[in-house]
Copies of this chain bind each other. A is one copy, B any other.
């Protein structure tokens, strides 16, 4: 499928993708809906205002303002059949052999207004997030971290292969790529092994990232009702990259018995473009095999239930040197998002449009030596080793001024389905008051 838009072959945003995001521009300063195409965005608010919308996008006949909204929630709420029709229509409008050349391809006035270079737009958080849940489905991460804390015999808790372990996260501190992340202060033990547990309050010394995939919910379920595993796909809007910034020293001291809290709630970064569920369909693969007999509610029809996304983590030092410190496939999950949704709603918990689910840290089987660690905790064995960076620099954990960039892409050059950058730069903790 070729486009009349000039798209670099290495672009994340080929005609096969068409991810949705929220932009503002100098002409349209109120945040509104766009899609990414090559180095451009197609401003859907501008497009909708300049065409016969019900004729071109028939499923939006009753929703004329859905692209003028400041979040994607209203569009997501319309359901997957509508997302599919809209994406297909946009693909047609942008295709070299479009069936409607007069709308955009041959309409220079509208092209000038609606097709805007990405560098000229500001990206915003794509969804209003009611609740954010972080799972723990990255098997290699769970195992490696478990070995560190409890030894190889007890690395995985007995529940791990029976259910997708998850916990409630903090929705208010989910931010869009590019938002600076302040190093948190917190209670830490300088000597965790000591019998005397005397914490001090200081900036975290063990600031880390976690490479995750995020999933946005499209359609809600009623409180008291569960979503069955084979219906769950229909509740998914799309996917983003997610960095679950983590303070390991704060986490170690606070997390018993009720789980992580301040070690996680200071910030979570998501990539700005929501890759629709349909766009990832061609890249399905089997996840990590689970030999434990599953409860019925977790049994999925599709064996290929995760995606072969090529994930990467870049670390850029304050001096500006960038090193790719990890390359991992998204297939390294033991639980799929439909399984997470079925489990989350098993007891009747209501999911709402815009809710965000994190996969848990994705690490590969290659571990530290293979460059397949989705966190520094794993790559440095909890700070025992160093990760080598360009320019002979090293890291155990993140320094002030470091930038972490997550990237993810599927498919061949010219037809890539990618996420764009999920980026955050660390700045200094406040001086103690």
Which A residues fall within an 8 A CB radius of B? 130-131, 136, 149, 157-159, 162-163, 165-173, 175, 182, 184-187, 197, 199-201, 204, 223-226, 228, 247, 250, 253-263, 265-267, 295-297, 343-344, 346-352, 355, 430, 432-433
Given the complex, which residues of B lie within 8 Å of A350, measured CB to CB? Answer: 172-173
Given the complex, which residues of B lie within 8 Å of A343, measured CB to CB? Answer: 262
Q: Is the CB of B182 within 8 A of A224?
A: yes
Q: Is the CB of B172 within 8 A of A257?
A: no
Q: Is the interface of A mostly helix, strand, loop or mixed?
A: loop
Q: Is the CB of B162 within 8 A of A347?
A: no
Given contacts A224-B182, A262-B349, A349-B262, contact A157 B257 (CB under 8 A): yes
Most chain B beta-carbon neighbours within 10 Å: one of A158, A185, A344: A158
| The 9 residue pairs across chains A and B that have the minimum distance between CB atoms | A259-B259, A184-B347, A182-B224, A167-B258, A158-B197, A168-B168, A265-B349, A266-B347, A258-B259
| Contact pick for A296, options B175, B201, B247, CB 8 Å | B201
Q: Is the CB of B265 within 8 A of A173?
A: no
Q: Is the CB of B187 within 8 A of A295?
A: yes
Q: List 10 A-B contacts (CB under 8 A).
A: A131-B171, A157-B256, A162-B199, A167-B261, A223-B266, A255-B259, A262-B346, A262-B347, A265-B344, A265-B347
Which single residue of chain B is at the shortest CB-CB distance from A158? B197
Given the complex, which residues of B lie within 8 Å of A259, measured CB to CB? Answer: 167-168, 255, 257-260
| Contact pick for A258, options B136, B171, B175, CB 8 Å | B136
CA distance A197 to B156 in the complex (A): 13
- Shortest beta-carbon distance, A355 to chain B, in Å? 7
Given the complex, which residues of B lie within 8 Å of A263, measured CB to CB? Answer: 347
Q: Is the CB of B255 within 8 A of A172?
A: no
Q: Is the CB of A168 within 8 A of B265?
A: yes
Given the complex, which residues of B lie within 8 Å of A175, measured CB to CB? Answer: 223
Which single residue of chain B is at the shortest CB-CB distance from A180? B224
Q: Is the CB of A250 within 8 A of B347?
A: yes
Given contacts A159-B197, A201-B295, contact A430 B223 (CB under 8 A): no
- Shortest beta-carbon distance, A136 to chain B, in Å? 6
- Shortest beta-carbon distance, A306 to chain B, in Å? 21
- Shortest beta-carbon distance, A209 to chain B, in Å? 16
Given the complex, which residues of B lie within 8 Å of A352, measured CB to CB? Answer: 172
Which single residue of chain B is at the shortest CB-CB distance from A184? B347
Which single residue of chain B is at the shortest CB-CB distance from A197? B158
Q: Is the CB of A262 within 8 A of B159?
A: no
Given contacts A136-B258, A158-B197, contact A348 B296 (CB under 8 A): no
Given the complex, which residues of B lie within 8 Å of A260, measured CB to CB? Answer: 258-259
Given the complex, which residues of B lie within 8 Å of A173, measured CB to CB? Answer: 223, 348-350
- Shortest beta-carbon distance, A226 to chain B, in Å? 7
Q: Is the CB of B165 within 8 A of A167?
A: no
Given the complex, which residues of B lie within 8 Å of A199, measured CB to CB? Answer: 159, 162-163, 295
Q: Is the CB of A166 within 8 A of B258?
A: yes
CA distance A253 to B172 in the complex (A): 29
CA distance A15 to B433 in the complex (A): 41
Given contacts A166-B258, A168-B170, A352-B172, contact A184 B346 (CB under 8 A): yes
- Shortest beta-carbon distance, A412 to chain B, in Å? 38
Q: Is the CB of A347 within 8 A of B172?
A: no
Most chain B beta-carbon neighbours within 10 Å: one of A175, A184, A204, A432: A184
| Contact pick for A167, options B167, B247, B346, B355, CB 8 Å | B167
- Shortest beta-carbon distance, A108 to chain B, in Å? 43
